[in-house]
Structure 1
Amino acid sequence: MKLRMAENSLFAILLRSRWWVSLLVALGFVVVSFALLPESVRVVGALGGAPFVIISIMALRRQWGLPSPAKAEALLKAAGSIGWIELADALTAAWQREGYTVQRLTGQRADFVLQRQGRTVVASARRLKAARVGVEPLRELLQAVDEHEATSGLYLALGEPTEAAVSFANQNAISLLRGMPLAQLLRDMPVSAPAAAPRKA
C-alpha cells in the first residue's frame, strides 16, 4: 500500500511553501540550540533541523523553473481571458514542448488526447473558466478516458473543485490541474503587459 502524506501536515505545508521557508526553520533550530541549550547537547539540538533542510531541498527541486507567484497569477488571468482557440493552441504547444503527441477532439466529452512513451491521457479544458468544478464534467471526462482506452484523465480548471469532485477524481485516476502546476504548463504563453495609467494634465 502506498503511503500518502496528510495534506495539512507540517511537512506537506512546507513542501507547498517557498523552499527557503524550511531553510529558515532549520536555521531557527541551530540558533535556538546554540543560544539556549547546554554546550554538551547543542549539536544534537541543532540536528533537529536536519529534516527541514531535506524538505527545503525537496521543495527547491519541485519549484525549480516555476514561474514566480506574480507571473503565475498573470498567466492564469490570461488563460481565463483569452478565447478557446487561443487557449487550445497554447495548451497544444505546451504539451508538445513536453514531448507529447497531441490530438485535438471536437464535439466530444474531452478536448485532447495526449500520448507519450506508450501512455495515453485524455484531457478536458473547455470548461477551464468555470468558477466551481463539480462531479458532472469529471464523469464526462471519465467516459472519454474509457472510450479512448486511456491510462488516465486530466481536467484543467481555474475554479475551485468541490469536495465531491476531488473525491471522484481521486477514485478514478483523474488529475485536477490548477494553480501553480497549470501556470507552469502555460509558462511560455504570452502575457499582455498591464496598460499604463493615463498621465494627469
Structure 2
Amino acid sequence: MQHAFPFLETHIAVKFSIPRHSIFGILLRSPWWVSIMLAIALSALLAAFIPREYVFFAIVSTFPLLLVGLVAGWRQLHMPSQERRAAVLTQANQMNWDTFSKNSLESWRILGIHATASEHAGADWRIAQEGKYTLVYARRWKAAVHGLEPLRQLAEAMEATGIHHGLYFAVEGELSPPAQRYAREHNIQVWSGDSLSLFLLGKLPPNAE
C-alpha cells in the first residue's frame, strides 16, 4: 500500500533489535555526542588503571559506544525539518478518519510495529512491540481541545483488556489540565505536535516508551 504522505521516507528493511530501555537503546535516543564522550571517558579511565599490555583491548571494548554514537548521529542528521513536520500535520488535519487510519497503520508497519484493530470500543488499535502491548486512541486526532472523556474510554479499554500502556493522538489541540493529569495517572502517553509528525513521517518519536 502506498503511503499518502508524500514526505514519508523509504526505510531500510534491516533493523537491529535493541531493547528500548537498555543502555544502548537509551543512548540511541540521546544526543549523538553523549555516546562518544562516554566512550572517550571510559577509554581514558581504563587506560589509567589497567596494565599497559591490556590497554588496547580495553579501548577496543568501548567501540560499541562509538558505534552507537555514530548511528545516533546519522539518525539525528536525517531527522525531518520543522517545515516537513508542520506540513505533514497540516495534511493530517485535512484527512478524514479512513485516510488517517490507513496512513497511521502504514506508519506502524514501517516502524516494524504490529498493529491490529482493538477488540474494545474504547481504543482504535492494539500495537505490539518487544512483547509489550499498547492500546491506541486516535479517532479524535483533529480535536481542538481534548478533555477527559476519550482518555476515560481508553483507560477503561486498558483495564478491560489487561493492557497497561495507552497512547493518545492529538495533532495540534491541547489536553485540558485535568486530562493531562488523568493521562499521567493512567499510564497514557500522548503524541501531539512534533511527536505525532515524526510518527506520520515513519519515524519513532524520541519520547516513545
- Above 0.5 in TM-score? yes
Matched, 1:186 2:200: yes
Aligned to 1:153: 166
Aligned to 1:76: 89
Displacement over 3 Å in runs of 4+: 59-65
Aligned to 1:164: 178
How far apart are residue 94 of structure 1 and its match?
0.8
- Whether the 8 Å contact between 1:67 and 1:183 is mirrored in structure 2 is no
CA distance in 1, matches of 2:90, 2:177: 24
CA distance in 2, matches of 1:62, 1:148: 35
- Whether the 8 Å contact between 1:114 and 1:123 is mirrored in structure 2 is yes
Matched, 1:122 2:135: yes
2:100 corresponds to which of 82, 87, 96: 87
1:66 corresponds to which of 53, 62, 79: 79
Moved more, 103-112 or 168-177: 103-112
Aligned to 1:141: 154
> Number of aligned pairs?
134
Query: 2:108 is matched by which residue type in structure 1?
Result: W
- Whether the 8 Å contact between 2:118 and 2:135 is mirrored in structure 1 is no
Pick the structure with greater CA Rg: 1
1:52-89 Cα shifts (integer Å, max 9, x gaps): xxxxxxx9788554321111111011111111111111
Structure 1, unpaired ranges of 5+: 1-18, 20-58, 190-201
1:113-162 Cα shifts (integer Å, max 9, x gaps): 00112100000110001001111110100111112211300000021111
TM-score between the two structures when normalised by the length of structure 2: 0.58
CA distance in 1, matches of 2:134, 2:106: 16
CA distance in 1, matches of 2:150, 2:85: 25
CA distance in 2, matches of 1:116, 1:141: 19
Question: Given the superposition, is the C-alpha separation of residues 62 and 136 from structure 1 closer, same or farther in structure 2, using an over 3 Å criterion?
Answer: farther
Q: What is the alpha-carbon root mean square deviation over aligned residues?
A: 2.7
Helix, strand or coil: the match of 1:76?
helix
CA distance in 1, matches of 2:178, 2:156: 18
